């Protein structure tokens, strides 16, 4: 059979015909007979040296001697059987070398219906993200509450403010401890599983909330500040552990079609948690000790991930890496729709894990060796992007606009409005990420954010009500632009860049980096805009304009396009050391016969 004839074959269509839409029995019988013949022929052909791009085992093409046998067949039935044999050969060689995304043609809605159980479990995992977002705004925005400022602050020019030192320490300790929690979470979940890590992190978070709740009981103001600092640190470590586990779990169970849209849940439910927290703060704003009510309201959010740990199945990837095949099959069966064969997915995971195990072992040090170094650096950079476009400042926007000149009640309303706009933008990003590449979204939105921050900095050079309101509008614009692109895209890039056998540790490193950035920015920012220090106010926009411009340049050279790629394809592209700009144009040559012949295969099989 000439090489051109092979392009008529479509592996996904044959698999669909044989397994999902069963044909007459003779087709299946022929396939089984031909599979045994192919295995016997491979034992002979394996003794001959092969080349990666030209051999049948790497390119997916049958042996030329076998093809010549098929060309001698004259009747249509023999030709069809020959094609089925060739497709069967392609199936074995392609999947052993490189898995491809056979469902890239499905729309977002079709993908959701096909993997509906996975979607439901991922929605359940968003409880951990809700906890993260709720804690982020409760701890960050209680500083804008008059009762908190009176119990933990000091008077300056007849106005209650929080000292820059303590405000910086409070902003630093939660993300700083989340760095430690992320690394511990990466080790813990590899040893005890994703479910156990989620449960332990949730329990520790509840303890941290309790410490914050009792922080105002001490009569000494320095003791109050110290106890609150300890509670924030403890809770930050727990949240780092929970978030690392959540991202690892979701990235392991999601198919390529849904990886981008559903990992966009991270900013969406972070904003939803923040919006809920902002509403609680607004309701308690003028209450005596109202901030303690806000702290107590964190307990239900700490309990939700603990509940999910008992409901979700364990990650099949984790179970296979622990050689627990029977448990992995049960877990995958819970993720699949009724009637699906879990072994189909488990075989793909096994091959990907074995392919990566042959190259290196799974340790934190190995994340910085060889080709994994580049992947780890991309993950670290992706986790730095939210701070570069100003997420840390946005989380404290209520206190920030008060320092610019806005009243307390209005500042919380601005915060809530910004969260609503950001939530809508991130929901839209679910569709956007299914259509547009991550790299293009990051570059485009970073360019727009550079302009928005620059305009805010220019407005800060003037004084008056216009500057105050322009600053508030600029912050809302930043949330919208970032929510449509760089914010959700950064989470997707971080999740899909790592190798499977290093995924939990890579996510631990990623969240460690995010925690380090949050800690540094959280500590430094008050020294920039607070009245008792830098007093930059709206001119802080110039700082983030420069950071967005820097992020734009770095993204252009280091962030690759991985939309729609399987883990095996991503592995191959990194192993080939392709420049970031060439990832989008890379073609899996072994998959070409599959992609070009779906229509012809339908006619030939039937």
What is the structure's pLDDT at 572? 87
What SS3 state is found at 160? strand
Instruction: Judge if 446 and 395 occupy the same domain.
Output: yes
Residue 526: give its domain's CATH number.
1.20.1250.20
Q: Given its phi and psi angles, is residue 172 left (phi above 0), alpha (psi -120 to 50 degrees) or beta?
A: alpha
Residue 68 counted as domain residue? yes
Say how far apart CA 544 and CA 336 lie, in whole Å: 44
Instruction: Judge if 305 and 358 occupy the same domain.
Output: yes
Instruction: Judge if 80 and 120 occupy the same domain.
Output: no
Instruction: Judge if 94 and 115 occupy the same domain.
Output: no
Say how far apart CA 257 and CA 119 lie, in whole Å: 12
Residue 389 counted as domain residue? yes
Residue 543 counted as domain residue? yes
Say how far apart CA 240 and CA 187 lie, in whole Å: 13
Report CA-CA distances (Å) from 123 to 37, 65, 161, 258, 262: 46, 52, 40, 12, 8
What SS3 state is found at 148? helix
Residue 25 counted as domain residue? yes
What SS3 state is found at 161? strand
Contact 405, 389 (CB under 8 A): no
Say how far apart CA 302 and CA 134 lie, in whole Å: 10
pLDDT in tens, 90-104: 333 333 344 555 666
Instruction: Judge if 30 and 158 occupy the same domain.
Output: no
What SS3 state is found at 153? coil
Instruction: Judge if 495 and 544 occupy the same domain.
Output: yes
Instruction: Judge if 184 and 285 occupy the same domain.
Output: yes
Residue 606 counted as domain residue? no
Contact 597, 417 (CB under 8 A): no
What is the structure's pLDDT at 114? 85
What is the structure's pLDDT at 468? 92
Contact 563, 437 (CB under 8 A): yes
Per-10-residue mean pLDDT for the chain, 606 residues long?
Answer: 39 36 36 44 41 36 41 41 38 42 71 88 85 80 82 80 83 83 87 92 91 89 90 89 88 82 80 86 84 89 89 92 91 86 86 68 78 91 94 84 86 87 88 88 96 95 90 94 92 84 80 83 85 85 96 95 84 88 77 45 35
Range of the domain at 84: 3-98
Say how far apart CA 225 and CA 542 lie, in whole Å: 32
Beta-bridged to residue 74, according to DSSP, are none
- Token duo for residue 12: 């996904």
Instruction: Judge if 68 and 118 occupy the same domain.
Output: no
Instruction: Judge if 148 and 82 occupy the same domain.
Output: no
Instruction: Judge if 150 and 84 occupy the same domain.
Output: no
Say how far apart CA 108 and CA 242 lie, in whole Å: 28
DSSP 493-523: HHHHHS-GGGHHHHHHHHHHHHHHHHHHHHH
Number of domains composing the chain? 2
Q: End of a domain among 80, 98, 116?
A: 98
Q: End of a domain among 98, 129, 147?
A: 98
Say how far apart CA 373 and CA 48 lie, in whole Å: 35
Say how far apart CA 348 and CA 249 lie, in whole Å: 17
What is the structure's pLDDT at 64? 39
- 231's CB contacts (< 8 A; 6+ apart) are 208, 209, 210, 211, 212, 213, 215
Contact 189, 119 (CB under 8 A): no
What SS3 state is found at 92? helix
Instruction: Judge if 152 and 27 occupy the same domain.
Output: no
Instruction: Judge if 94 and 127 occupy the same domain.
Output: no
Q: Exposed/middle/buried for 111, CB within 10 Å: 0-12, 13-18, 19+?
A: buried
Residue 605 counted as domain residue? no
Residue 602 counted as domain residue? no
Residue 293 counted as domain residue? yes
């Amino acid at each position: 059979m000439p090489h051109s004839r092979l392009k008529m074959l479509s592996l996904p269509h044959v698999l669909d015909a044989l397994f999902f839409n069963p044909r007459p029995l003779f087709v299946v019988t022929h396939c089984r007979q031909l599979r045994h013949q192919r295995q016997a022929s491979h034992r002979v052909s394996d003794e001959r040296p092969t080349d990666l791009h030209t051999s049948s085992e790497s390119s997916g093409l049958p042996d030329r001697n076998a093809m010549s046998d098929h060309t001698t067949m004259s009747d249509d039935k023999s030709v069809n059987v020959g094609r089925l044999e060739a497709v069967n050969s392609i199936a074995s060689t392609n999947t052993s070398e490189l898995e491809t995304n056979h469902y890239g043609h499905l729309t977002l809605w079709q993908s959701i219906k096909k993997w509906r159980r996975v979607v439901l479990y991922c929605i359940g995992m968003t409880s951990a993200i809700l906890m993260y977002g709720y804690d982020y705004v409760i701890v960050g925005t209680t500083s804008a509450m008059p009762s908190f400022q009176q119990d933990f602050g000091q008077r300056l020019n007849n106005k209650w403010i929080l000292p820059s030192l303590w405000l910086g320490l409070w902003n630093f300790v939660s993300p700083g401890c989340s760095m430690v929690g992320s690394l511990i979470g990466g080790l813990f979940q590899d040893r005890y599983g994703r479910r156990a890590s989620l449960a332990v992190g949730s329990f520790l978070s509840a303890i941290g909330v309790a410490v914050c709740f009792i922080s105002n009981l001490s009569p000494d103001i320095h003791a109050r500040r110290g106890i609150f600092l300890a509670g924030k640190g403890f809770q930050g470590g727990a949240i780092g552990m929970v978030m690392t586990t959540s991202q690892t779990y979701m990235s392991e169970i999601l198919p390529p079609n849904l990886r981008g849209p559903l990992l966009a849940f991270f900013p969406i439910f972070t904003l939803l948690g923040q919006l809920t927290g902002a509403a609680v703060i607004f309701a308690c704003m003028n209450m005596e000790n109202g901030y303690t009510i806000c702290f107590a309201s964190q307990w239900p959010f700490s309990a939700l991930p603990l509940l999910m740990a008992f409901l979700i199945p364990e990650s099949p990837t984790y179970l296979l890496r622990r050689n627990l095949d029977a448990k992995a099959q049960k877990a995958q069966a819970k993720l699949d729709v009724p009637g699906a064969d879990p072994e189909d997915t488990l075989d793909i995971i096994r091959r990907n894990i074995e392919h990566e195990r042959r190259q290196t072992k799974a340790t934190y040090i190995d994340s910085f060796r060889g080709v994994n170094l580049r992947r780890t650096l991309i993950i670290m950079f992706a986790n730095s992007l939210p701070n570069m476009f100003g997420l840390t400042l946005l989380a404290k926007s209520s206190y920030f606009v008060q320092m610019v000149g806005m009243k307390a009640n209005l500042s919380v309303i601005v915060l809530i409005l910004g969260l609503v706009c950001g939530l809508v933008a991130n929901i839209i990003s679910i569709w956007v990420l299914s259509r547009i590449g991550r790299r293009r979204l990051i570059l485009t939105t970073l360019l727009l954010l550079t302009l928005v921050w620059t305009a805010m900095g220019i407005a800060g050079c003037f004084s008056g009500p216009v500057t105050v309101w322009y600053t508030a509008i600029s912050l809302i614009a930043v949330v919208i632009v970032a929510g449509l692109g760089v914010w959700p895209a950064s989470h997707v890039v971080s999740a899909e860049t790592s190798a499977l056998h290093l995924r939990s540790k890579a996510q631990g490193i990623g969240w460690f980096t995010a925690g380090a950035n949050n800690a540094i920015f959280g500590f430094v920012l008050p020294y920039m805009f607070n009245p008792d220090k830098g007093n930059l106010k709206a001119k802080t926009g110039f700082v983030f304009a420069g950071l967005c411009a820097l992020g734009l340049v770095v993204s252009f050279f280091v962030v690759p396009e991985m939309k729609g790629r399987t883990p095996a394809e991503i592995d191959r592209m990194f192993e080939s050391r392709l420049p970031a700009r060439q990832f989008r144009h890379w073609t899996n040559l072994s998959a070409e016969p599959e992609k070009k012949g779906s229509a012809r295969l339908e006619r030939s099989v039937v």
